[in-house]
Amino acid sequence: MKTLIQVWFGTRGSPPSEITRKLEKLGFQPLTGKYDYFKEWKEIPTEKELLELADRIFEALKGEDLHFKLISEGNL
């Protein structure tokens, strides 16, 4: 299973390279294509684990003048 993030950057927050470093600390890797970052799960995460991850992403990106979309799907 993968969790993917699509990011819309603003010009008042940190540059994309800094956002990438923050997301890498959460286990995400940069991706080229429709989505910007992905995290590969070893096992299918529970709803609680996904919500906790979303909260950690929110906290890491708070105040960065960006919007993000989070998708978790299997067989991508």
What pLDDT is attached to residue 73? Answer: 83
What are the pLDDT digits (tens) for 31-54?
999 999 999 999 999 999 999 999
pTM higher than 0.85: yes
Domain 2-73: which CATH number of 3.40.50, 1.20.1740, 3.30.70, 1.20.1500: 3.30.70
Which residue ranges make up each domain of the chain? 2-73
Q: Quick one: three-class SS letters along the chain?
A: CEEEEEEEECCCCCCHHHHHHHHHHCCCEECCCCCCEEEECCCCCCHHHHHHHHHHHHHHHCCCCEEEEEEEECCC
